[in-house]
Structure 1
């Protein structure tokens, strides 16, 4: 038996009075988080939810997310986290595809959630906040106290604990089936390697509906009894305020968050001296951003690598002493990683041996929900194919070059957008940049850069092109520059390149 909710029960038993949740409304102890999630488990069971049933969780980073999350798990049900930015048709698709029985949402998204639920034929809706004039019932109905500790439902390690939908860069999003054992080990092993402690306070600004926030922040924190400092919506001010208020020691973020924090003016209101380390993942962090952040804040950034299907850790730089700058680290315990050429042959270490990153181990999903063909393709040859391109150095550190599907082939030459973006981020007038391939009748594809300039006089496009031309091979530098006020971002803060072009 292994029910993922055991990570909460054990931490609540070990140190019941230690803060589990910190937010602008106060704190919730591990004892209270355990008790409140017990109430949710009991309420769901009374409403007919059985082990293996799906319950959709459509909440931002508010206390009700971990309360509901662990309650669903305790009842033996499967958590289906939904991005709070989804519109009604997208909600309907994921509710239908996952076969969810209930939906827990919040007042800020209730209108879209109710429409989506109606389209999916789902009637059981509970909402945090006002529910006036809707078919939803208040979430408080699920938190009526139990008379006794709720027993964890019997679940096997191979049973699904969560179905998390991919971003859907091609086609419709697919639901990755993440198991109890997979999520437990992805909380336990990276947490041990990283040496997270019960006196740590982790800034939880990454969306909990995303696997990075759910697995690598929330589950890891709860497994080791740390406090989660919840930030409902990322802004530099909100994060720096939470760090100051809660004396946070760890900040988990994606590269766009570090870029935004760097752009925040110095302010005496913020005290970040309590931070001991930052963790970057979800996308490749530009070298310029990493160096500038460490210099300004005096805190090391440890970069890791993972994805929804691996929930999430594959490789990690485990400490400031044992890291390789600009690398995503080495495979964590129990995880195998290789680099394959297009014919499925393993490539040796070396920057010249770029190939697809493949992996296998406890960390990989059971499969894509109701997608046997997609699952078989993803696990071709017995290894999970990440779709990322990279290489190992001689010391076993992995370097990610780019997404396989984002590779630009210009006149027969391979152009890796990340390499061009690294150069653009070093330009003093560039705040953010994203590089994509656009159709070209002569070359097949041309290199185009979308640039968010820094405040002040806008840089000249030709000057930026010239800057890149001096630092990149002739076939690599962008010929097209388009300025934007911002770049489209996913709910997890990744640049949505599919919306550019």
Structure 2
């Protein structure tokens, strides 16, 4: 038997009165988090939810998310986290595809959630906050005290604990089935390697509905009894204020968050001296951003690599002493990683040997929910195919070059967008940049850059293109450049390149 909720029960037993959650409204201890989630488990069970049933969780980073999350698990049900930025048709699709029986949503997203639930034929809705627009019931009905500890439902390690939907870069999102054992080990092993401590306070700005925030932040923190400082919506001010208020020691983020923090005025309102380390994942962090952040804040950034289907850690730089800057680290314990050429042959180590990153081990999903053909394609040859391109150096550190699907082929030459973006990020007038391939009648594809300028005098388009031309091979530099006020971001803070053209 292995029910993932055991990580909360064990920490509540060992450290009942230590903070589990810190937020604007105060703190919640591990004992109280355990009791509140017990109440949710009891309420769901009384409403007919049985082990294996799916319950959708559509909340931002507020205390009710971990309360409901662990309550769902304790009842033996499967958590289906939904992005709070989704529109009704997207919500309806994921509810129907997962066959969710109950939805816990948030007042700020209730209108879209209710429309999506109606499309999926789901009527059992509970909401955190006002429920004026639908007959949704208040979430407080699920938190009535039960008086005694709720027994964890019997679950096997191979049973699904969560169905997390991919970002859907091609076609509709697929639901990755993440098991109890997979999620437990992905909390336990990275936490041990990273030496997470019970007195750590982790800034939890990464959305908990995303696998990075759910698995690598929340589950890891709970497994080791650390505190989560919840940030409902990322802004630099919110993060820096929470670090100051809660004396946070760890910040988990994606590259766009580090970029935004760098651009924000750092004045006497903020005291970040408590931070001991930052962790970056979700996308490759530009070298310039990493260097500038470490210099300004005096805190090392440890970069890792993972994805929804691996929940999430594949490789990691486990400490400031044992890291290789600009790499995503080495495979964690129990995880195998290789680089394959297009014919499925393993490539040797060496920065010149770029191929697809494939992996296998305890960390991979059971499969895509209801999609056996997509699952078989993803696991060709017995290894999970990430769709990312990378290489190993001679010491076994992995470098992610780019997404396989984002590779630009210009006149028969391969152009890796990340390489071009690295150059753009070094330009003093560029705050953010994204590079994509656009159709070209003569060359097949042309390189196009989208740039968010830094505040101040407007940069010159020709000058930025010339800057790239001086630093990149002739076939790599962007001939097309478009200025934007902002770049489209996912709920997890990743640039949505499919919306750029």
> Do these two structures clear the TM 0.5 threshold for a shared fold by scoring above it?
yes
User: Quick one: distance in 1 between partners of 2:366 and 2:135?
Assistant: 35
- SS class of match (2:44): helix
Q: What is the alpha-carbon distance in structure 1 between the residues aligned to residue 301 and residue 354 of structure 2?
A: 25
**Per-residue deviation, 1:266:** 2.0
Give distance in 1, aligned partners of 2:133 and 2:97: 28
Compared CA separation, residues 226 and 440, structure 1 to 2 (3 A): same
Give the superposition deviation at 1:133: 4.1
CA distance, structure 2, for counterparts of residue 147 and residue 200 of structure 1: 30
> What does 1:271-350 align with in structure 2 at a 5 Å threshold?
271-350=271-350
In 2, Cα distance between equivalents of 1:235 and 1:267: 16
2:24 corresponding residue in structure 1: 24
- 2:323 and 2:72 map into 1 onto residues whose CA distance is 38
Structure 1 portions without partners, runs of 5+: none
Distance 1:24 1:135 in 2: 29
1-side partners of 2:298 and 2:351: how far apart?
Answer: 30
> What residue is the counterpart of 2:191 in the other structure?
191
Aligned to 2:117: 117
* Partner residue in 2 for 1:462: 462
Q: Which residue of 2 aligns with 1:127?
A: 127
- Paired position in structure 2 for 1:435: 435
Q: Which residue of 2 aligns with 1:250?
A: 250
- What is residue 45 of structure 1 aligned with on the other side? 45
- Secondary structure (helix, strand or coil) at the match of 2:434 reads strand
Residues in 1 aligned to 2:118 and 2:125: alpha-carbon distance in whole angstroms: 10
Question: Are positions 1:58 and 2:65 aligned together?
Answer: no
Runs (4+) of structure 1 moved beyond 2 Å?
A: none
The match for 2:152 is: 152
How far 1:317 sits from its partner (Å)?
0.1
User: In structure 1, what is the equivalent of residue 162 of structure 2?
Assistant: 162
- Partner in structure 2 of residue 415 of structure 1: 415
Look up the match of 2:357.
357
Distance 2:98 2:132 in 1: 28
Q: TM-score, normalised by structure 2?
A: 1.00
- Kept in 1, the 8 Å contact 2:111–2:133? The answer is no
Q: TM-score, normalised by structure 1?
A: 1.00
For 2:90, the equivalent position in structure 1 comes to 90
CA distance in 1, matches of 2:365, 2:464: 42
For the aligned residues, what is the CA RMSD? 0.4
Write the deviation string for residues 120-146 of structure 1: whole angstroms up to 9, x where unpaired: 100000000111241100000000000
d(CA) in 1 for partners of 2:456, 2:229:
34
1:14 is aligned to 14
SS in 2 for 1:93: helix
Aligned partner of 1:370 in structure 2 is 370
Counterparts of 1:133 and 1:59 in 2: how far apart (Å)? 17
CA distance in 1, matches of 2:149, 2:401: 49
Tell me what 2:103 maps to: 103
Equivalent residue runs for 1:258-277 within 5 Å: 258-277=258-277
Query: Which digits, 9 at most, give the CA deviation of each residue in 1:286-333, with x for residues without a partner?
Result: 000000000000000000000000000000000000000000000000
- 2:474 aligns to what? 474
CA distance in 1, matches of 2:318, 2:303: 9
Residue 351 of structure 1: how far off its partner (Å)? 1.1
2:236 and 2:115 mapped to 1: Cα distance? 33
SS of residue matched to 1:241: helix
Corresponding residue SS for 1:304: strand
2:491 is aligned to 491
Cα drift, residue 76 of structure 1: 0.1
In 2, distance between residues paired with 1:309 and 1:19?
A: 30
* Cα displacement (A) at 1:27: 0.1
Q: Report the secondary structure of 1:409's partner residue.
A: strand
Cα drift, residue 112 of structure 1: 0.5
Q: Confirm whether residue 176 of structure 1 aligns to residue 145 of structure 2.
A: no
Match of 1:68? 68
Q: Counterpart in 2 of 1:204?
A: 204
Task: Give the CA deviation at 1:258.
Answer: 0.1
Q: Structure 1 CA distance, aligned partners of 2:118 and 2:474?
A: 55
SS of residue paired to 2:424: helix
CA distance, structure 1, for counterparts of residue 371 and residue 135 of structure 2: 32
d(CA) in 2 for partners of 1:352, 1:243: 41
Provide the rounded CA distance (Å) in 1 between the counterparts of 2:336 and 2:398. 12
In structure 2, distance between residues paired with 1:13 and 1:458: 58
Q: Distance in 2 between matches of 1:133 and 1:205?
A: 29
Question: Aligned equivalents of 1:317 and 1:462: distance in 2?
Answer: 38
